[in-house]
Amino acid sequence: MRHSSKAANAAKAILSTAFLSISLLAGCSNDSSTANDATSATNNDDEAFLLEAQAIHASALTLDAHADIEMPGKPSAYVGADGLSKVAPEKMVVGGLDAVVMSVAVSPGPRTPEGYAAAQEIAAAKLAVVKAMAADPTNNTVLVLTPDALISAHEAGQSALLLGFQNALILGTDASAIETFYADGVRLFALTHMGHNAFADSSRPLFNAATGQREATAEHGGLSELGIAAIKKINALGAIVDISQLSKQAALQAIELSTTPVVATHSNARALTQVSRNLSDEELDRIGATGGIVHVAPFRGYLFDTSNPQMDADIRAVRRDANIDEDYLYPFELYWEIDDVEVKKTFLTKVSALLGPISLKDMLNHLDYIAKRIGIDHVGIGTDFNHGSGIPGYEDASESLNVTIGMLKRGYSAEDIKKIWGGNFIRVWREAEANAQ
């Protein structure tokens, strides 16, 4: 079965770095005999540690709660250097990642019949991509619709795909259309992406380049009547409410309204990085108190140090140089408004340099913060791969073992790690399923 060897595959990619520090330390000693003895002992300790991490990773059901769907044959700035999806089946196997929630997501668009139709067309195409992946026998992949099916896939050594949904623009103004997506296999529903829609306010009000103005911070004061109906529909179907990218007001309302625990499939802690997409302590506390989960993401723009006023000033200057609004909800925001390719490249490069080195350590700092604040039972991993995510140490699914190694180094137990990687998600999914009417 694949799960018995998945960590061994992933370990090959990190063995050289696992012992790099050992060789460097040994090279600092003037006593070659002592150095060799110390290096040998340290090597043995590190090898034992790595074997322990591999064993935990192999036995855990590892799930990424959010990745975007790449459209075959279409250019993308978000894929890996190899041109493939960051959660391609082969990368999942190498990294020992058992399951991923593939999000049927659309970008903002006009709230008109034509805009709704365009969003629905994109959603249908993305659904078809995931179903084709699952249907291809060479992928050894299955689309799962229940927690039991997810566990069975893991036990059979198959990669599992779940379907998520993001942006109720797809629904137009019809909450009952959620039923159609549920019938198509969607099991997690997030109401907003960037920009408000008829259902809810977004944590990222849309910028209108033509007017140079943003949407109001709140259009509905959280959830609209349609949004309230949507939460009730999601609960009645036995699906999971995803609050990622909702405004704070909408998220708190959704948490209180939902009759089962909610999840945030790709959100970090605002206390560490002050951007609107991250969750406030108040939101974290309510998610924890109601049994939900926050899945942290390796997204640089949501992990940087926002406590440095000089960095903020420098980012604003770079934004002005690129002729985009200097106010930002996250540092890279509005790069898509830059038409000149070289100007865009310069902007992204300069902002990236200003953010400084961000790595898996920073993502794990957010995980630590959330786990300490609301408990191990309420944290998970959700990468947002294929939409700008990826940091040194966790660039794609092939490096998933590094997350387990990082957690183990920080003192998380095997039981903790298994909960974070998938156990917590399965618990919430079972609660949602049991609540179906």
Q: What's the rounded Cα separation, in Å, for the pair 9 and 54?
A: 9
> pLDDT (tens digit, 9 = 90+) per residue, 38-96?
555 566 688 999 999 999 999 999 999 999 999 988 888 788 888 899 999 999 999 99
Q: Using CA atoms, how far apart are residues 222 and 201, in angstroms rounded to an integer?
A: 5
Predicted confidence at residue 44, as pLDDT, reads: 66
CA atoms within 13 A on the CB side of 431: 18
Chain-wide mean pLDDT for the chain? 90
Q: What is the structure's pLDDT at 188?
A: 98
Which residue reads 């300490």 in tokens?
372
Nearest to 204 by CA among 212, 194, 213: 194
Confidence of residue 162 (pLDDT cuts 50, 70, 90): very high
184 Cβ partners below 8 Å, 6+ apart? 127, 163
Domains parsed from the chain with CATH numbers: 1-59 (no CATH), 62-268+414-434 (3.20.20.140)
